[in-house]
Structure 1
């Protein structure tokens, strides 16, 4: 039984008793006061109710914010915002008309009225709102244990830092509202009130404040630890190219109890998803009494691969380009030629842990993955997601609607910290340090359990991976190797597009990708990435319409 922070339905909305919404169903309704739950305001500062308000701030980490089952339009995993719009994935599903708004995102034809753009904004600001309201209730409570109050405040600052980090990396110029907001007008804020640097500074402040107070360990593993706050601070530095600060922050994280698990595939099992490699995660659970299993991976419920064991939604399909990226040479190093992998090619063993490929066993189901599992093979090709899909045999997988499971979504895992440190090392001129860090990742992959044939007699493909044994002397080449390793290690985890943007190479990479991929997948014919626009999503039109004219500035190009 996973020991997680519970978010039962009775706790989900209590913390918003006096809260204000930033985004609603229409126009000015965004700024209307909405009352939830059945606890009166006079009762809200009692310790037990303050705790419920804090739980409500955690509960929207999974992107589920109401009674609908459409958290797939605001997924915590960012499979649509971070993978589908990158060179790693296609939308998938039943053709371009199925969730057409995500198809438009894939073509870089997003608009301020795109449903997912609005829904993601809504979910993240709901998280901001709940953390702010919980902070106010906590501060006002007279019977809350004083020492625990300090810790809970730090947890809330961590959560607020997370929600704002997500908003910043997706929308860039955003309104910033803290716990001092009291009235409707306090929530009608300009998105240019603070500069980009100032917004990052506020996010840094939340994570630093959390680090200063949080304990080294938590009894309930869903709550952040001291080093989780430092890891997130390192990520915040990384997105600003603050290389020395990022490097120093990772030093602290690496000095703690986190580390790589021995086996790559085992990282993505519910039995291990609060293990030594997972620094902070969205906690999922199933069969826990929550209606419709909304505490499960509700945002990812469309990503099931189809076939005889799974639902036929069929979204989040790996691209041919991603599959080709796992090709290796005779020495076990990446090839990077984007020539389609054949049965005789050497491949990185992480390929068949990450991607469902025809003729390769799928999980422990004693069956080969087939291209016919794909819901729309003609449009989206033969490959399916695999890394974050649970075996249908797992007790943590629900075989009935809404087809969710209890595999946590890892917001930060230790392998990322090593790769961040490697990035910073390259930029600081420590190329050999970067090589050693990348080699830790590759050595773990090399020593992991490889996918076997159905009879268990041999490897299912020509797996071949090795460490970099030659000294790194060229910064540009070292930088490329770190970025390549980041792609391979984190594929299908929702990070790729955001990495391309922060590296400043999104336009070049996506143009190269589309130039070839359009010859493979006709649904991409009209796709075109516009530099200076498509790095970020538009500010939702409904938010603009809900505040005073001229208060909000739309992102460039929309």
Structure 2
């Protein structure tokens, strides 16, 4: 599948066809009209399927800047956690600040974009399955197309579930689209769809970016770990392990952490399933990671925009003790002092810090931040391309567009989910091995010295290179037997900490805290800490039981009525 995605025109044709009125006088097809029978073949169904894939990047059919539909989920999954501030300036997107400090409301104007984009993906998946129902195809072709489509349908519903929980699950059989969300089990329905996808999909695909059996297994394992968060049943952790084990066993981590976040090394085996991005493909940069452009530094050559700024809490989390291990209990006792504190090298492959090279762009400094008093001194870095990379020729913010793929699930994510399952099931040694493999990879590379006019950006041979003057890098594996000797509580804490360090700013943190059942404990402590340096955190609401799910957008509540009765019910507390 080409990285340039088939967007609105193709799917508008299909959508108009599938939603056509049933009256006989409207059934006569005008000349040039693409009828359903024309699409019920492999080529037509595949075109519809590509339309379903197109929504992975969050760009909806109208082409608007639907920021909260970004698959990175930094607005819903990172900013409301202890990993990041909304950033930029206080007056920019105050609606995001409201999410950040738990002043949530159903009328928040940015929340609806995620809902609309995700359900548009569901609509396209269901339209593809309906076309499949009337097509005469070889079994292997049919299974592959259906497997990919059910994978996507499960994924889009899972994205809705993570945010709102109580959402209706739509299939190709639904004719009434005003559907109740009471007594629903969207996660269970997604598990059923993804299970079917595992059984239908091939091990490999000819085109990069298409779902495979391993991608479905990995996602199914993730679904079961979320289900464990609801049920607390070891059976769900066991099901997660059953699906994650073969994926993890058949793949290897890339040599360097940075390999996950550059176009030259993307689509490697450790990127299990990714949103495919590209530039200069005739799409005016709409096929680039358009919805992530806000999360670029405001200074240097970028110009815009300075959102999604890493928190001081996240920066402090990268401190290590004298043994190169995390400081779970006292990492926040003081702010990171670069002159004295040793740090995990992933800090400077994830976060832009003053006096540290920012890839090959320049040395990060105070001018890169729009309002330090409001949002702190740090910039996001993980998904920023190199200055030497090709420049986008389309769009209004060229230097912020790039073709870096975003992983829906990557190997380290799957390994840490498996490590969680192993701890739950009492296999502490297996969990320790998984965490240590990730920590050992973390020690393989680091941000290198900046060379004016170009030069080394990542050092892959010695993280203690004498040219690194801004940090003392150190990261070590846990000594053999550490998990077993310290028990399950310690082991789970170590796994969770590793998820934070490895997956920082990828939109996982808030959802992880909620499924672990520790969101109130962690986030209320965090807001108290953040208020010491970020004055607007004095207005943070207490994280309460009602924050388990975001409020369903008012516009959707009002739209889903029948005979004056609201069929779509608001989540508890909103």
Asked if these proteins are the same fold (TM beyond 0.5), I'd say yes
Matched, 1:275 2:268: yes
Alignment-derived partner of residue 418 in structure 1: 415
The answer as to whether partners of 1:396 and 1:406 remain within 8 angstroms in 2 is no
Query: What is the number of residues matched between the two proteins?
Result: 531
- Alpha-carbon distance change, 67 to 520 in structure 1, aligned in 2, over 3 angstroms: same
Aligned-residue offset at 1:136: 0.3
Q: Which of 131, 135, 142 is the equivalent residue of 1:137?
A: 131
Separation of aligned partners in 2, 1:306 and 1:19: 44
Could you say what secondary structure the match of 1:13 adopts?
A: helix
Alignment-derived partner of residue 10 in structure 2: 11
Alignment-derived partner of residue 430 in structure 1: 427
Matched, 1:552 2:571: no
The answer as to whether partners of 2:4 and 2:287 remain within 8 angstroms in 1 is no
- Alpha-carbon distance change, 87 to 38 in structure 1, aligned in 2, over 3 angstroms: farther
Matched, 1:467 2:477: yes
Alignment-derived partner of residue 493 in structure 2: 480
The answer as to whether partners of 1:12 and 1:55 remain within 8 angstroms in 2 is no
Could you say what secondary structure the match of 1:187 adopts?
A: coil
Q: Which of 288, 291, 298 is the equivalent residue of 2:281?
A: 288
Match runs of 1:328-367 below 5 Å: 328-336=320-328, 337-338=331-332, 339-343=334-338, 344-365=340-361, 367=362
Match runs of 1:500-511 below 5 Å: 500-511=513-524
**Structure 2 unaligned spans of 5+:** 21-31, 229-235, 457-465
The answer as to whether partners of 2:7 and 2:61 remain within 8 angstroms in 1 is no
Could you say what secondary structure the match of 1:173 adopts?
A: coil
Q: Which of 508, 512, 531 is the equivalent residue of 1:518?
A: 531
Separation of aligned partners in 1, 2:201 and 2:102: 40
Greater mean alpha carbon deviation, residues 330-339 or residues 205-214: 330-339
The answer as to whether partners of 1:14 and 1:52 remain within 8 angstroms in 2 is no
Aligned-residue offset at 1:288: 0.6
Separation of aligned partners in 1, 2:217 and 2:359: 35
Could you say what secondary structure the match of 1:341 adopts?
A: coil
Could you say what secondary structure the match of 2:252 adopts?
A: coil
Alignment-derived partner of residue 255 in structure 2: 262
Matched, 1:304 2:301: no
Matched, 1:92 2:87: yes
The answer as to whether partners of 2:8 and 2:61 remain within 8 angstroms in 1 is no
The answer as to whether partners of 1:305 and 1:313 remain within 8 angstroms in 2 is yes
The answer as to whether partners of 1:4 and 1:220 remain within 8 angstroms in 2 is no
Matched, 1:79 2:56: no
**Structure 1 unaligned spans of 5+:** 22-36
Separation of aligned partners in 2, 1:129 and 1:489: 34
The answer as to whether partners of 1:228 and 1:279 remain within 8 angstroms in 2 is yes
Alignment-derived partner of residue 207 in structure 1: 194
Separation of aligned partners in 1, 2:394 and 2:38: 41
Alignment-derived partner of residue 490 in structure 1: 503
Match runs of 1:232-243 below 5 Å: 232-241=219-228, 242-243=236-237
How much is the aligned-residue C-alpha RMSD, in angstroms?
A: 2.1
Greater mean alpha carbon deviation, residues 528-537 or residues 77-86: 528-537
Could you say what secondary structure the match of 2:438 adopts?
A: helix
Separation of aligned partners in 2, 1:354 and 1:38: 50
Alignment-derived partner of residue 171 in structure 1: 164
Alignment-derived partner of residue 377 in structure 2: 382
The answer as to whether partners of 2:295 and 2:306 remain within 8 angstroms in 1 is yes
Could you say what secondary structure the match of 2:76 adopts?
A: helix
Greater mean alpha carbon deviation, residues 425-434 or residues 484-493: 425-434
Separation of aligned partners in 1, 2:525 and 2:417: 25
TM-score w.r.t. structure 2 length?
0.88
Aligned-residue offset at 1:41: 4.4
The answer as to whether partners of 2:360 and 2:451 remain within 8 angstroms in 1 is no
